[in-house]
Structure 1
Amino acid sequence: MAAYTIADVKTLREKSGAGMMDAKKALEEAGGDIEAAVDALRAKGLATAQKKSSRTAAEGLVGVAVEGTKGVAVEVNSETDFVAKNDRFQDFVRKTTAVALTLAADDVEALKTAEYPDGGSVDAKLTDNVATIGENQQVRRLKSVAVSNGTVVPYVHNAAADGLGKIGVLVALESEAGADVLEPLGKQLAMHIAAAFPQALDADGLDAALIERERSIAADKAAESGKPENVQEKMVEGAIKKFAKENALLSQLFVIDNKTPIADVVAKAGKDAGTSIVLKDYVRFQLGEGIEKEEADFAAEVAAAVAGE
């Protein structure tokens, strides 16, 4: 029996962009491990691009809120998009995000036990919503950013309502510049972050495991080139530098002109304003990042229902 299913092949093709036969072969060689198969396809040049984990389907909303020099993003998941459009659910996400602003740490459990504006705790309100709406819901994660002097700019891409959507971004700018300078700059940077999906603020902040995975892929590609070992080593190091440059926010090329590094965009804004501007931190939450959602076979569900199963 094969170590993978047709659904696994479909998932691998969506993640890698590879053809049917290449995907099946990669899964066979990887023993059904989808992530290992993706790496193998990329090493062979058969994956069209690295697909972001944010493409994984999950429903709900991301809420963002700012007060003073602090901002927070909160993700609340639901089973279906219908619930995400529900006024009661949207009100819960909005108020829960406001509660998160008052916390001292990015702690989901602390958020759940915090007092809800309508009384009781956030978790008690969530439980009530589940019972009322009839669908499972979860407060999944939160992250806050803050500056001592400057501003935090919120942005929601394709907002479902004020401060709510499927991609929420916060940009923390440390500066003595006025809001007339920082707000438009923050908005442009937030739109870039939403589109470019940086993995960290700078190269040093990139996850070590992610770098090692890229190094392994680059080494496999270099080995297949048949070039001398010293040349292969240079190829690997070049690939890692390129990956870091493309995935660290400050070194990414600004999506507006596709030629200016973000660090230079911020530096120029500071020079024009006559004062230093520092991009201190950011948050990018995309609904469902890293969540595997089971694909439902609608026809089979209907057939089962008709058969009384």
Structure 2
Amino acid sequence: MQKKFSTENIKELRNKTGAGMTDCKRALEASGGQIDVAIESLRKKGLAIADKKSSRIVTEGLVESYIHSGSRIGVIVELNCETDFVARQSKFQQLAKDIAMQIAACQLVKYVSKEEIPEHVRDYEKAIEMHREDISNKPLDIRNKIAQGRLEKRLKELSLMDQNFIRQGEITVEELVKQHIALLGENIRIRRFERFVLGEGLETKDSNFSQEVSNMIANK
């Protein structure tokens, strides 16, 4: 017997996936009213659609900024799409805002995706893992296997697309973008971003009051 579902269930599914009302209704019908099964079905559908569109050229979009409370962290991100029409859509603009906020929250992230991480960075991170004390006495092949596994984890930490979305922890940023590709019907790509942290890169001056007074007296 098929489980019944309500309009509220359809709305809930739409809020969780960003899919259209008709797609949500069909997914619930196919799943017998099971929300979790319907979500998985819609995500797979969205990923399939996104993969088909991923090679299409994106030359439009917008540049979004986010300043965190206290004005100590700021982010600028460029999000691209195919047409100016989609760039003006509220859902696309909200996506840009969400991504900018995500970047501000993920201090370890330095690259859009793992594919963009330079080879010299990969080599450096691999070398660090190979010389960890806890595996230093293991055979080389075992050390290499462990280090490679840890390297993959490290690369994910550096990659924005591999982060869990802060507003919806069960999906990654990559899945979030693909959901919007399916929803808006165009290829969408995070092109680049820059994070600004107040005082980052500046040397902190240690203030030694006693030494300053001694220097003043000596120079008189």
* TM-score between the two structures when normalised by the length of structure 1: 0.45
Q: Unpaired runs of 5+ in structure 2?
A: 1-57
AA in 1 matched with 2:92: L
Matched, 1:193 2:124: no
Give SS of 1:238's match.
helix
1: distance between equivalents of 2:116 and 2:91?
A: 27
Give SS of 2:132's match.
helix
Aligned partner (choices 225, 230, 241) of residue 141 of structure 2 = 230
Aligned partner (choices 173, 182, 187) of residue 79 of structure 2 = 173
Instruction: Give the Å deviation of 1:277.
Output: 2.0
1: distance between equivalents of 2:133 and 2:140?
A: 9
The answer as to whether partners of 1:173 and 1:280 remain within 8 angstroms in 2 is yes
Q: Matched residues, percent identical?
A: 27
The alpha-carbon distance between structure 1 residues 179 and 223, as it changes in their structure 2 partners (threshold 3 A), is same
Give SS of 1:173's match.
strand
Instruction: Give the Å deviation of 1:299.
Output: 4.1
AA in 1 matched with 2:156: K
1: distance between equivalents of 2:213 and 2:59?
A: 57
Instruction: Give the Å deviation of 1:207.
Output: 4.1
Count of matched residue pairs: 157
Matched, 1:285 2:164: no
Higher strand residue share? 1
Structure number with greater CO (CA < 8 Å, separation at least 6) is 2
Instruction: Give the Å deviation of 1:236.
Output: 1.0
The answer as to whether partners of 1:167 and 1:194 remain within 8 angstroms in 2 is yes
Matched, 1:203 2:123: no
2: distance between equivalents of 1:193 and 1:199?
A: 9
Give SS of 2:98's match.
helix
The corresponding residue for 1:155 is: 66
Q: Deviations 1:178-214 (Å, cap 9, x if unpaired)? A: 3311221111111110110311111232244433332
Instruction: Give the Å deviation of 1:267.
Output: 0.9
CA RMSD across the alignment: 2.5
The corresponding residue for 1:26 is: none
The answer as to whether partners of 1:196 and 1:255 remain within 8 angstroms in 2 is no
Q: Deviations 1:75-109 (Å, cap 9, x if unpaired)? A: xxxxxxxxxxxxxxxxxxxxxxxxxxxxxxxxxxx
The answer as to whether partners of 1:251 and 1:261 remain within 8 angstroms in 2 is yes
Aligned partner (choices 147, 170, 179) of residue 268 of structure 1 = 179
The answer as to whether partners of 2:59 and 2:80 remain within 8 angstroms in 1 is yes
Matched, 1:183 2:89: no
Q: Deviations 1:145-173 (Å, cap 9, x if unpaired)? A: xx7312111112236xxxxx432211211
AA in 2 matched with 1:262: V
The corresponding residue for 2:132 is: 221
Query: Radius of gyration: which is bigger?
Result: 2
AA in 1 matched with 2:194: V
Aligned partner (choices 298, 302, 306) of residue 209 of structure 2 = 298
Matches within 5 A, 1:64-103: none
The answer as to whether partners of 2:130 and 2:136 remain within 8 angstroms in 1 is no
The answer as to whether partners of 2:62 and 2:78 remain within 8 angstroms in 1 is yes
Give SS of 2:175's match.
helix
The answer as to whether partners of 1:222 and 1:232 remain within 8 angstroms in 2 is no
AA in 1 matched with 2:77: V
Give SS of 1:170's match.
strand
2: distance between equivalents of 1:244 and 1:298?
A: 44
The answer as to whether partners of 1:201 and 1:249 remain within 8 angstroms in 2 is yes
Instruction: Give the Å deviation of 1:242.
Output: 0.8
1: distance between equivalents of 2:189 and 2:110?
A: 18
The corresponding residue for 2:35 is: none
